[in-house]
Chains A and B, each alone.
Chain A
Amino acid sequence: MISYSLADFKPIVPELVLLFFTFLILFVDFAIPKAKKKINGFIALIGVVITFVVVLSLYGSSWTGFNDMIVFDKASGFVNVVLLLTAFVAILMSLDFIKREEINFGEYYEILLFSLVAMQVFGSTYNLIVMFLAVETLSIAMYILTAIKRNGLRSTEAAMKYFILGSFASSFLILGIALIYGLFGTVDLLRTKELLTGADTLHTWIAIVSFVLILVGFGFKIAAFPFHAWTPDVYEGAITPISAFMSIAPKAASFMALMRLLVVGMFPIQVEWTKLLWVIAVFTMFFGNLVALWQKDLKRLLGYSSIAHAGYMLVGITAANSLGYGAVLFYLFGYIFMNLGAFSVAEYISKKDVEGCLIDDLRGMGYKYPLTGAAMLIFMFSLAGVPPTVGFVGKYYLFSAAVKSHLYWLAVLGVINSAISAYFYLNIIVTMYMKGGAKEEVVSFPSPYLRAAIAIGAVGTILFGVAPGSVLNAALSSIVF
């Protein structure tokens, strides 16, 4: 008989706090008229901030609950921080935007926070079934958010693609989990590790097969090659705040879960999975960067660029040392600022009812909006990995982890990619500053919250590029598994 005590609830305190605000929005939404839906947004914002404070105050403690189904350790604390920061900026980006696009339904924030809770759970468990439940919850929430602009053609198309491909990926995931359960009679990764250590050849091979199947599911979430196909369409089709949110939050949770899976559960077959990840990382980086070279749409470009960045982070995992795992966490943290910043700028110049945003529209922006232009310049240099930005520091640690494990070629291929990517990032700067004025004047979307989002991005990108010490140490010390 399974019994629970109050202590079981300790590791899910952050989730519970956020869940409270999620339901609060649900109830408040009934009471407020359509014109004042912004209140929902502020509740969501406050909820995220309070959860953030809770996570910070709990950071450092180590709890497990519900028969080890949920853990709260430093790693999940760190991922929580990443998720909540992402959500905070994404909500800032949404506050005025969804009103302009006439989609300011209460459900928007409701579902956003709900997906966030699922992501928190996703990053804080060693249990494959809990992982699957979390990944399904967050996926369904993300499908809805992609399609939130119901009458937008691109938006609906993107959601449909996302949904169908996502369902396929989930079925692979569940098949892999089923194989693990069939093999070892457990879905707990800590237990899997013990059993796999002494397993015979047949069991090991089946475990490898199940690992590959699970990797399909995870690869879809982090947009790794060859499971990346949905990314550019969805990023382009979804409304910008959601694209921005999607480019980091689900990835952060998935990377955390992937690390728990690989470093703990699949530790005995590390030699095999590093080989596979080596190949996937290289293809992901090259694919993302090479295809991005030809993009004309800013959001699509950021979509391909996010594929490439997933590749960089896979380099850190492939290195299979604690420096690499820590570097992945740090990179996710830094990626919030530069990537959300870039998406915010895309939103800043977006036009009503137009999903895409052509790079050519940025012409002359550097002079018309000097501050936004300067911020975009910082984001682009950071994404390209040029110091003194957080993008450089993050990349430095990812690749140096590879070098530490003597994966010199992987590091070299990584930096080659960095050089390739410089071309299209710089091309945006060229468009902003060095080409003549636009055919149509650049119009801006005057939202103070959006400006705040851009400012947070720019300040964070520089600040954590110059003084990465404390966050980096936190990321490195998070890896205790």
Chain B
Amino acid sequence: MNQLHFPILSFITFWPLLGVFILLFINRKNETAIRIVTFVFMLIDFLVSTLLYFYFDPTTWQPQFVDKIPWISSLGMNYYLGIDGLSLFLVILTTFLSVVGQFSTWSAIKEKVKEFNIVFLLLLTGMLGVFESLDAFLFYVFWEFELIPMYLMIGIWGGPHRVFATMKFFLYTFAGSVFMLVAIMATYFLFHHYTGTYTFDMFQLASHPLPHHLQFWLFLAFFLAFAIKVPMFPFHTWLPWAHVEAPTAGSVLLAGVLLKMGTYGFLRFNLPMFPSMTHALGILVIVLAITGIFYGAVVAMVQPDWKKLVAYSSVSHLGYAMLGMFALNSQGMEGSIMEMINHGVSTGALFLMVGILYERRHTRLFSEYGGIAAIMPRYAVLAGVVTLSSLGLPGTNGFISEFLCLIGAFKANIWYGIVVAGGAVVSAVYLLMMFQKVFYVKTRNVKNLGLKDLDLRETVYMGICVLGILWIGLYPNPLLSRMHVSVEHLLQHVNSYSKQITINVDKNLTCNKLAKINVISRGGL
């Protein structure tokens, strides 16, 4: 079964559902009890998920902690959970940010508290399922399911334009995902055609990639779904709306976890299943990633709204993750995964920061702030660390990941590296400008004078985020060592298809197959 002799992944995935069940029986008036119960459930979930970290075997790329039960066996569908070095930290990140996020809502969410916490727990289950599923069908189920609670969270507890924002978020993501659904079906049947087995097992599907010419449309379909989720440059327009309108906890999870599903999807589907197309189309992805890095940074610079700035900074940061990944070398890819984790922690913390001030002043416009450093010193210190980590100062987590991504880019092509190094400067500009506008310039508004500094609860959750930032920044090795074997395996697999794109393909079989498809599809039309 697994190292722990206990279905730990199923436990952490469905444990929040038990919390939902218990919440149903708590009177909605008793808001404190609802908050505490949810918090305890999430905390336990997080603590149990840390066991994964300690018991994880860093010497193998094979999936670990596997739970596998036939689900719809006649069609090759399994309930199949497992993690490897690619997903381990994303799982822990998810449970971590949920605890922190929920803790931040104790004062932020005052209406419909019960519903909010139910939705939050459902969201946690959905997010965990995405990172743990190793069955493509199950993956899709969780991938779509997680949209529902996030849709409700933005739509019910969001800002003034919440309905538009949440509709845009849902429809945009849903429209992208349905193409992935067709691609999953097609991969399933084509895989059967070439190997004789019906399976949704992601590792098995990756073990025998389809012939090069068939990969093109499938790659694009998966690309569309994931690129919207990441979001990559031309598909990012839903993100500022959703981030800005969502409640703080929603933004934290949206940026911290949901965006990572896109990048994670590339690691699980596009790279391993369509390796030769990854080489052929990688340049396209890299160009979009670099465009995103600059575009996000430049647009962030001119935002008058604090939260919007952070939202655009996500576009920029995720550009690094995509660049590192498609550099297709071990530094780049490890940097990419580190970037996912670090962006989750840092940007999550940035959103929490914004949320703290928003709760006090109910505005996010820079023009309303200034001189906060003198009024809320404790807040300023913590916020300073978070900002510095986001711009990648050595000693913080952001440095490690951006540095690795840059090395990867340089190794892949020196021009990528040179161009992107400029991007690092731009991101320093907008983040420092942000910090300056809020904390240093003279107080322009008398309303800011009486603001209270962080209370204990706020200090705790911001402090924990800062500890995470410093820990990863100073001692990233435990993380890197756990992902190393999986990354190497993936790269070896992908790179083995770089030079021999067409050799593996049986020419005769291909022609026959193509002719057959043509005949049938003409018949169908």
Contacts of A403 in B (CB 8 A): 182, 185-186, 189
Among B71, B179, B181, the most chain A Cβ lie within 10 Å of the Cβ of B181
For B181, give the chain A residue with the smallest CB separation.
Answer: A415
Decide yes or no whether A305 CB sits under 8 A from chain B: no
Q: Are A405 and B178 in contact (CB under 8 A)?
A: no
Decide yes or no whether B141 CB sits under 8 A from chain A: yes
Contacts of B155 in A (CB 8 A): 429-430, 433-434
Could you tell me the distance between the alpha carbons of A108 and B179 in the complex, rounded to whole angstroms?
Answer: 46
Residues A274 and B523 in contact in the complex (CB < 8 Å), given A406-B517, A411-B185: yes
Contacts of B112 in A (CB 8 A): 367
Could you tell me the distance between the alpha carbons of A416 and B179 in the complex, rounded to whole angstroms?
Answer: 8
Decide yes or no whether B368 CB sits under 8 A from chain A: no
Q: Is the interface of B mostly helix, strand, loop or mixed?
A: helix
Decide yes or no whether B216 CB sits under 8 A from chain A: no
Decide yes or no whether B511 CB sits under 8 A from chain A: no
Residues A434 and B162 in contact in the complex (CB < 8 Å), given A387-B145, A426-B151: yes
Contacts of B72 in A (CB 8 A): 468-469, 472
Contacts of B470 in A (CB 8 A): none
Decide yes or no whether B148 CB sits under 8 A from chain A: yes
Interface string of A151-184 (1 = CB under 8 A from B): 0000000000000000000000000000000000
Decide yes or no whether A473 CB sits under 8 A from chain B: yes
> Which listed residue (A409, A415, A423, A430) contacts B178, Cβ 8 A?
A415
Q: Are A418 and B178 in contact (CB under 8 A)?
A: yes
Interface size classification for chain B: 35 or more
Chain A: minimal CB distance from B189 (Å): 5
Q: Are A473 and B74 in contact (CB under 8 A)?
A: yes
- Number of A-B residue pairs with CB-CB distance less than 8 Å in the complex they form: 105
Decide yes or no whether B354 CB sits under 8 A from chain A: no
Residues A422 and B174 in contact in the complex (CB < 8 Å), given A387-B144, A433-B152, A434-B156: yes
Decide yes or no whether B520 CB sits under 8 A from chain A: yes
Decide yes or no whether A278 CB sits under 8 A from chain B: yes
Chain A: minimal CB distance from B306 (Å): 25
Decide yes or no whether A286 CB sits under 8 A from chain B: no
Could you tell me the distance between the alpha carbons of A224 and B14 in the complex, rounded to whole angstroms?
Answer: 42
A125-133, A342-350, A392-400 - interface stretch: A392-400
Q: Are B185 and A399 in contact (CB under 8 A)?
A: yes
Chain A: minimal CB distance from B390 (Å): 32
Decide yes or no whether B525 CB sits under 8 A from chain A: yes
Could you tell me the distance between the alpha carbons of A451 and B171 in the complex, rounded to whole angstroms?
Answer: 31
Chain B: minimal CB distance from A387 (Å): 4
Decide yes or no whether A439 CB sits under 8 A from chain B: no
Residues A407 and B144 in contact in the complex (CB < 8 Å), given A399-B185, A415-B182, A422-B174: no
For B152, give the chain A residue with the smallest CB separation.
Answer: A433
Decide yes or no whether B421 CB sits under 8 A from chain A: no
Chain A: minimal CB distance from B318 (Å): 24
Interface string of B149-170 (1 = CB under 8 A from A): 0011001100000110011001
Chain A: minimal CB distance from B126 (Å): 10
Q: Are A278 and B182 in contact (CB under 8 A)?
A: no
> Which listed residue (B71, B73, B174) contacts A419, Cβ 8 A?
B174
Interface string of A455-479 (1 = CB under 8 A from B): 0000000000000110011001000
Could you tell me the distance between the alpha carbons of A402 and B278 in the complex, rounded to whole angstroms?
Answer: 27
Q: Are A392 and B141 in contact (CB under 8 A)?
A: yes
Q: Are B144 and A392 in contact (CB under 8 A)?
A: yes
> Which listed residue (B162, B170, B182) contacts A411, Cβ 8 A?
B182
Contacts of A406 in B (CB 8 A): 517, 520-521, 524
Chain A: minimal CB distance from B17 (Å): 11
Decide yes or no whether A115 CB sits under 8 A from chain B: no
8 Å CB contacts to B: which residues of A408-447?
408-412, 415-416, 418-419, 422-423, 426-427, 429-430, 433-435
Could you tell me the distance between the alpha carbons of A403 and B185 in the complex, rounded to whole angstroms?
Answer: 7
Contacts of B141 in A (CB 8 A): 387-388, 392
Chain A: minimal CB distance from B496 (Å): 28
Q: Are A410 and B156 in contact (CB under 8 A)?
A: no
Q: Are A426 and B167 in contact (CB under 8 A)?
A: yes
Decide yes or no whether B89 CB sits under 8 A from chain A: no
Contacts of A410 in B (CB 8 A): 524
Q: Are B186 and A408 in contact (CB under 8 A)?
A: yes
Could you tell me the distance between the alpha carbons of A97 and B188 in the complex, rounded to whole angstroms?
Answer: 48
Given A415-B182, A433-B155, 5 more A-B residue pairs with CB atoms under 8 Å apart are A406-B521, A408-B521, A409-B521, A468-B72, A469-B74
Leading 9 A-B pairs by shortest Cβ distance: A415-B178, A387-B141, A419-B175, A400-B185, A403-B185, A407-B524, A434-B155, A406-B520, A387-B144
